[in-house]
Structure formats: structure tokens, C-alpha cells
Amino acid sequence: MSLLELRGVHASYSDGGQVLHGVDLTVQEGGVTALLGANGAGKTSTLRAVSGMLRRGGSLRFDGREITSLRTDEIARLGIAHVPQGRGTLTGLSALDNLRVGSARRRDRREVERDLERCLNLFPRLRQRLGSTAGNLSGGEQQMLAIARALMSRPRLLLLDEPSLGLAPKITVEVFEAIAGLRAEWSLAIVIVEQNADLALGMAQQAVVLESGRVAIAGTAAALAGNDDVRQAYLGG
């Protein structure tokens, strides 16, 4: 069964017009769906629609349950964690406190400590930086921290909005290797928005290309990666 299913989703910002016009998107249990498209296509808005951050309609189902009218906190509690574009760490808190915020709702303290250890194994750089204020971490470390904080809530679905944005190529590789690793270890489903389409398609099974708030192309990641027309029109050759 698919874990997340969007059918005909439309959405608008309270201060603006409609930005999504009937988006369909599916994420399989434990699978990765890449969400691609030019700047302004509606990728971030799609993730925000899923996590309840903007006014939306149509059908959004998570684990078979309609979530279209749920609030952000209710959606988070169902196991959807959103790592926003621009990372969204709590810059005034230490890295460790950011991770504690991630697990704040959990009561399984022993498992939380185990997950903390797993996060630090996944992102060894963070181990040395636990006491540092998040705002003082490098861009790459902040991205790792944002992902680790999301993991600390033990989500079933991770929404990643441009994790490589602004990172040096070497750090991007490190972050993507960790994402690939966490998928295997945490049996998570992921929606990944990424400008680097090859990176995203390399780890995804399904892919959706948005254009002006609509689905332009959808299919398997392999089909999209191998289609020359798709590459030229949407993926920069």
C-alpha cells in the first residue's frame, strides 16, 4: 500500500492566489519519491500542503487516513517530519538541544537515547558539535542537524526540501550518503525536493516533475532519468 497519496491537491497561501492546481503524488511505504521542477514550480508548497502549513484541498491520505483537514501538529504526530528549505534549526539552541526538541514528544526514553546514538553515527560531524550553538554550525552541519532532529521524532515519512541547497559539492555527497544510509537503517519513506535531479533520481523509485503547480511528468525515477526529452526540458540536459 502507498504510505502517502495525494490526489488532485490544490493549495493557496492566505495572502496570495492558488499555487497548486491538482497535484497527484504517491510515496510507497519505505520508498523515495523525487519532486522536481524549476524554481517557483510549487515543490515547497507541495511539501507544505502535506504537513498542513497552507490552505489545501483535494485528497491527501497518509497510511490510508485522510489528513486534508488536520492541523500541522496533528500531522507531525502521525509521523510526518518536515525538514524545510533553509534547514530550520533552532539557531539559538545547542545542537544537542535541537535534537532533544526533535524527540520531545516521545516517551520511550531508552529508544530515544538509542536513536540519538544512531543519528550521531549517521552524522559523525555532529558528535563533536553537540555543545555548539546551532547558529554557529557550518551550512552542511546545520543541514545534518535539521535532518537528525527530524529523525529524532521517529517519523515514518520524511519531507526533505532541497537538502543540498548552498552546500559545497563534497558536503552534498556526505549528506546524500547519509540520507541513503538512514533510509536503509530507519525504514523510512522520503519525499525529496532537489535541484540536483541526478542525485534525487539516483535514490528515488518514483518521480514527479512539477510545472506551475501542476504535474508535468510522473513515472518511475529510472524512466525519467533515462528519457532524453525529460532531461533536456526539465533536468538541464
Residue 226 interacts with which of Mg ion, ligand ADP, none, CB < 5 to 8 Å by class: none
User: Could you tell me which stretch among 41-49, 63-71, 73-81, 137-145 binds Mg ion (CB under 5 A)?
Assistant: 41-49
Residue 41 binds which of Mg ion, ligand ADP, none (CB < 5-8 A, kind-dependent): ligand ADP
* SS3 readout for 68-126: CCCCHHHHHHHCEEEECCCCCCCCCCEHHHHHHHHCCCCCCHHHHHHHHHHHHHHCHHH
Alpha-helix residue ranges (DSSP H) falling in the chain = 43-50, 72-78, 95-102, 109-122, 124-127, 139-151, 169-186, 197-203, 221-226, 228-234
Taking the complex as a whole, the smallest distance from the CB of residue 193 to ligand ADP amounts, in Å, to 7
Q: Which is nearer to ligand ADP, 42 or 52 (CB)?
A: 42
Q: Does the footprint of Mg ion cover residue 44 (CB under 5 A)?
A: yes
The grid coordinates of residue 114 equal: 538509542
The single residue listed with the C-alpha cell 535541537 is 98
Residue type present at position 11? A
Count of positions on this chain that bind ligand ADP (CB under 6 A): 12
- Which listed option, ligand ADP, Mg ion, none, makes contact with residue 31 (CB within 5 to 8 Å by class)? none
- Site residues for ligand ADP, 37-76, by CB under 6 A, read 37, 39-45
Which of positions 12-41 make contact with ligand ADP (CB under 6 A)? 13, 15-16, 19, 37, 39-41
State which residue, 40 or 124, has the beta carbon closest to ligand ADP. Answer: 40
Q: For ligand ADP, give the closer residue by CB, 30 or 88.
A: 88
CB of 143 to ligand ADP, least distance (A): 17
Q: In the structure grid, which three cell numbers stand for residue 100, read together?
A: 532533544
Helix (H), strand (E) at residue 58: strand 55-62
Rounded Cα distance between 217 and 224, Å, is 8
Q: Which three cell numbers stand for residue 193?
A: 525536493
Output 2 or 12, the one with its CB closest to Mg ion.
Answer: 12
Residues contributing to the site for ligand ADP (CB under 6 A): 13, 15-16, 19, 37, 39-45
